[in-house]
Amino acid sequence: MSAKKYFAWTVAVILVVLLIGPKISSGDEAADTGVDWSIVETGDVPEEVGIWVNRNLATQGVYLLPAGEARYLLVTWGEQPTGGYLVEVDSVDRFVGSVRVNVTLTEPDPDDMVIQVLTYPHVLLRLEAGCETVMVNFLGASWHGDSLGPVSELDPVIILKAVLREDGAAPNPLVVRGRARVFEATFWLVLADGHHHLSHDVLMAGEGGPSWAEFEVALTYPDHSNPSGMVIGGWDSAEDGSAIEVAFEPVAFSTASRPMLDAQGHPWAEGWIRMGVWQGFIDGYEDGTFRPERSVTRAEFIKMLVSSQTSPVNLPDMGVSHPDVRGHWVEPYVAWAVQEWGRIDELGELLLPDRMITREEMAMLAVMAAGRPPGESNSTFDDDASITPGFKNWVATAVGAGLIQGDGDGNFRPRAGLRRSEAVVVIWRVLQALA
């Protein structure tokens, strides 16, 4: 099939319609304009959302975090040299299953009196839970500037750039930045894996022009069937429906691209899990699941902790003192941990890497990874007497540093296992302690 016919067929099956450009369609053009949304402050969101906002605030972009019963959308202009920069939401509406957020950017006039201090203009939205594409349509000042290249009449009608993880893999959601030359035409965007269309959206331009419109799209997509994919952008001829101009942005899929269906809507762990996958210190399984209730072994927890602080290329090629770890896949991670944190002899002469890790063992490793010395035991748990004496100070320090918590019934359960969902939360708190 020729590219032209392929794209024409793609446009024929696309149902999601979104307006970009200087003219915004009226509400009666949308199938459903009702979206449950609100602007929220960082102090009023769950802990994991606050961590996520603080980590992204200084880097310009559009960020989407599904978290249980809601999705959080952060639009941040990044670090600016003065006050006077504004990011304001004009409207949020739905077009046949796609959510569109219209944002106006205002930058200070040279003659304005502004605060001479670094600022981080942004807006944080709480959206209803869902898997729809979310597009932010920018009006006012330029959002991309020259980051997509200077504007030229010689440019393609649509320009795209995918925002990938540091390892080059496509996260899920995948953010795609774009700029389109707006006139009377139909623009469209497809995410494909070579076998299937994972997401497809139409970007409908208004009349007039030509002028330029800027946007960023957050694509939440189902599981992929091929490791290589492509973001494809183009526009549909008003005369014969054929594809006129196209833009290609290759992407690579990995376990970070899995939809994590069993984490979707998790009442307290979804946001933590997705951040851990994006950060790269945890992976999903090949079947697209995360298995949040599965127990974690000593080796798995050490690998997660070490991976959150270093990349594989920085792992040392050296032996370890635990004889049962030599030749085990966790050996370089243990070597790095001992090199950076100190000996972990409390776990025993044999590490027993495939044994389920207990909560008291996890507390010790978390405190070591956070660079904290063990303090005096001042635990007030009802089952404090059941904590192994050698771990009591570690547990007390972990609790005092906010790395771990007990159960709601006042117990710590020192010898209980650690679930994958719990491990992710602990590691994020360690990273916060190191920040």
Per DSSP, the residues of 83-126 read S--EEEEEEEEEETTEEEEEEEEE---TTS----S-B--EEEEE
Residue matched to tokens 């639009």: 75
226 in the same domain as 336:
no
Q: Would residue 389 count as lying in a domain?
A: yes
297 in the same domain as 252:
no
Domain boundary among 256, 278, 311: 256
303 in the same domain as 196:
no
299 in the same domain as 246:
no
Domain boundary among 209, 238, 256: 256
**How far is residue 337's CA from residue 142's CA, in Å, rounded to a whole number?**
46
65 in the same domain as 174:
yes
Q: Would residue 279 count as lying in a domain?
A: no
97 in the same domain as 188:
yes
Q: Would residue 284 count as lying in a domain?
A: no
317 in the same domain as 244:
no
**How far is residue 346's CA from residue 384's CA, in Å, rounded to a whole number?**
18
Total domains present in the chain = 2
187 in the same domain as 43:
yes
Q: Would residue 244 count as lying in a domain?
A: yes
307 in the same domain as 248:
no
- Cβ(269)–Cβ(69) below 8 Å: no
Range of the domain at 186: 3-256
Query: Could you read off the pLDDT tens digit of each residue along the chain, which spans 435 residues?
Result: 333 333 333 333 222 222 233 333 323 333 446 889 999 999 999 999 999 999 999 999 999 999 988 999 999 999 999 999 999 999 998 866 689 899 999 999 888 888 889 999 999 999 998 888 899 999 999 999 888 888 887 777 888 999 998 888 898 899 999 988 877 677 888 899 887 888 877 765 544 556 788 999 998 888 888 899 999 988 877 777 777 778 899 999 988 888 888 888 888 989 999 899 888 888 878 787 889 999 999 999 999 999 999 887 677 777 677 888 888 999 889 989 988 888 887 787 888 999 999 999 999 999 999 999 887 767 778 888 899 988 999 999 999 899 998 777 888 999 999 999 999 999 999 999 998
Q: Would residue 281 count as lying in a domain?
A: no
Q: Which amino acid is at 366?
A: A
pTM: 0.83
Q: Would residue 28 count as lying in a domain?
A: yes
Q: Would residue 270 count as lying in a domain?
A: no
Q: Would residue 381 count as lying in a domain?
A: yes
